[in-house]
Chains A and B, each alone.
Chain A
Amino acid sequence: DGGITQSPKYLFRKEGQNVTLSCEQNLNHDAMYWYRQDPGQGLRLIYYSQIVNDFQKGDIAEGYSVSREKKESFPLTVTSAQKNPTAFYLCASSIGTRYSGELFFGEGSRLTVL
């Protein structure tokens, strides 16, 4: 079955640590995205990538980094510079950025900072 796999589902981090969230898709989609969801707030875009080896900052990129070395993979690193990293992180993909509203989401990764 085609879809998006995120791992881990739950992650605990100590302050000052970097953590990397994995996102893999087998939908053959060109575009991939990382969103953050906090209670009472809409989904906010962190980074997106239209093609391999290219990515763009979204609305809240500070304290995060990404890479897109393969079409299938778009990992997100939450660095120690991110001041409030506790959140639900969602990876998504679309056929292309022209269809950026028609998103397929992974199951999400819930990060808690201890």
Chain B
Amino acid sequence: QKEVEQNSGPLSVPEGAIASLNCTYSDRGSQSFFWYRQYSGKSPELIMFIYSNGDKEDGRFTAQLNKASQYVSLLIRDSQPSDSATYLCAVSRRTGGGNKLTFGTGTQLKVEL
């Protein structure tokens, strides 16, 4: 079982719809959760992080965390073509050497006109 799993997609949504991106993780000791956006050929950019169970909203983005079920999701409301990118989920857990961050392989999102 991978430490962090994401559906590779592509996930296609029409412009204006809600895009829902999901991520599951295997280590129950994971503490911090991050979403990065990566445009094709570019480097990742942090867009959201969440540390506590529940929802966290920032503009059109909402991160949702359910530690009991070990999943974290990212909702994008009013999806725009400029949201078309790969979204990377990253999970941090404490280890003896400090915090270890593990990335998923990413979900490709396509927002269609």
Contacts and interface: CB of A to CB of B under 8 A. Distances in A.
Do these two chains really belong together in a complex? yes
Contacts, number: 53
A28 B57 CA distance: 29
B22 to A, nearest CB: 15
A86 interface: no
A106 B36 CA distance: 14
B90 A101 contact: yes
Given A42-B4, A56-B97, A108-B43, A102 B104 contact: no
B49 A102 contact: yes
Interface residues of A, number: 20
Nearest to B2: A42
Contacts of B103: 42-44
Given A40-B105, A43-B44, 13 more contacts: A41-B105, A45-B101, A50-B98, A90-B44, A97-B99, A100-B100, A100-B101, A101-B33, A101-B92, A105-B44, A106-B43, A107-B42, A107-B43
